[in-house]
Amino acid sequence: MRKFGVAILGLGVVGGGTYEILTEKREFFKKTQGVDITVECVLEKNKDRALSLGIDEARIATSIEEVVTNPNVDCVVEVIGGIEPAKTFVTKALKSGKSVVTSNKELFAKYWHELEAEAKAKDVGLYFEASCVGGVPIIRTLQEGMQANDIKSIKGIINGTTNYILTNMESRGLSYEDALKEGQKLGYAEFNPTADVEGFDSTYKLSILSSLAFNTKIYFENVYREGITNIDKEDIAQGKKMGYTLKLLGIGKKTASGIEVRVHPTFVPSDSMLASVSDSFNAVLLEGDSVGEILLYGRGAGALPTGSAIVSDVIFAARHQTNYYSCFNNTLKGASKTKIVSDFNSKYYISLSVKDAPGVLNKISGAFSKYNVSLKEVSQVSASENEAKIVVTTHSCLESAVKKTLDKLSKLEEVFAVKGCIRIED
């Protein structure tokens, strides 16, 4: 039976969960996987935290050098997060001939090309299942379960914080601010939630997932990004009446014009599979030309779900002598021939605060017509003295045309404000 030694860098929520799974299930893995995995050392600046988990003091390293020079360590698990010191530590581990497992989506999205080059140079493994969608095995599915398919699209709820906020804005009528505060109290949202609510977290994940799905490097800065901080609960309620549910989606599509990659609030039909994904759960919908649609669903974060993904990579590394790397040109920005579509087609929901007076609808319709935006439905949803709220939905049209239309509308004296603009994905 092969013995396989692991070092864990960081014993926070995920690191602690990973340690728990590896130690408590050691005998289970020996029986079911045929490998004896041991945690040889940990690197954690809070020594008391390590001791509280029952880790022998002799196994608590005080520097990365202790870890990478330990001959009993075959694989280093990085769960520190952020760029530094994680990047330095991972690079040292790879250069020392250790395989690496990481849950760090920001590090991976930004420096995948550099880390993989180091791994190739030493012929060691580089694994990142836990970087995207927590315990949901999306990376392995893309790498090993979808080879027969030319993947057409990937759509996902890939951030649990925003899904929790939007779910409670819809189901309980909470404001964005109140839903965020509640999420922070329950541990679903960070004290500084910017990375989640402004879409950065989802952008890093979509960069990684779409690179694998479309077999070409998708540079994270090429992903269109829009967060949920400006979403109004009234638009969520109105969308619900129209048969839509609001989600922050990561969307990747392979089209005749090129590849679309975008993260933004999106109305989806309320009877769709993605609409049913609530609270902090995540889901990814893949469409392949051979298999059709596949939905992967589960917990996108947490000690044990994310630890589950990390341990699956550790076991994979322990059981495989051959290392696998990306099959595309993995440079910072990828192949120059890969065309990213920035002016994509979509349907739109637009809400306006306007003057309640004759002729206003004609002026509004004229602005849409000027830029060839075809209207599907126009309705007045509320009115007070001299003011009305108008909701417009469009047929599929170009993003650039809608932006020009909104700019035109904002300059009309009859339009008090453009209250909301949300894309619709059927």
Q: Which residues contact 24 (CB under 8 A, 6 or more apart)?
A: none
Q: Is 205 a catalytic residue?
A: yes
- Per residue in 163-212, pLDDT tens? 999 999 999 999 999 999 999 998 889 999 999 999 999 999 999 999 99
Provide the pLDDT for residue 321: 87
Place of tokens 């289970």: 28
Which pLDDT does position 187 carry in this prediction? Answer: 87
Nearest by Cα to 259 from 331, 325, 337, 326: 337
Rounded Cα distance between 216 and 337, Å, is: 10
Q: For residue 340, what are the contacts with CB-CB under 8 A and spacing of at least 6?
A: 218, 222, 258, 259, 260, 261
Angle at 246 between CA 277 and CA 133, to 5 degrees: 40
- Residue 382's pLDDT is 83
Which of 76, 110, 233, 258 is closest to 169 using CA atoms? 233
Closest CA to 67 of 47, 39, 87: 39
Identify the segments of the chain with pLDDT beneath 50.
Answer: none
Spatial CA neighbour of 203 closest among 134, 100, 108: 108
Rg (CA), the chain: 24
What per-residue confidence (pLDDT) applies to 383? 79
Per-residue pLDDT tens over the stretch 267-312: 999 999 999 999 999 999 999 999 999 999 999 888 999 999 999 9
Q: Domains in the chain and their CATH numbers?
A: 2-134+312-319 (3.40.50.720), 143-299 (3.30.360.10), 345-424 (3.30.70.260)
Chain mean position to CA 315: 24
Which DSSP helix (H) or strand (E) runs through 68? helix 64-68
Catalytic residue among 92, 98, 105, 205: 205
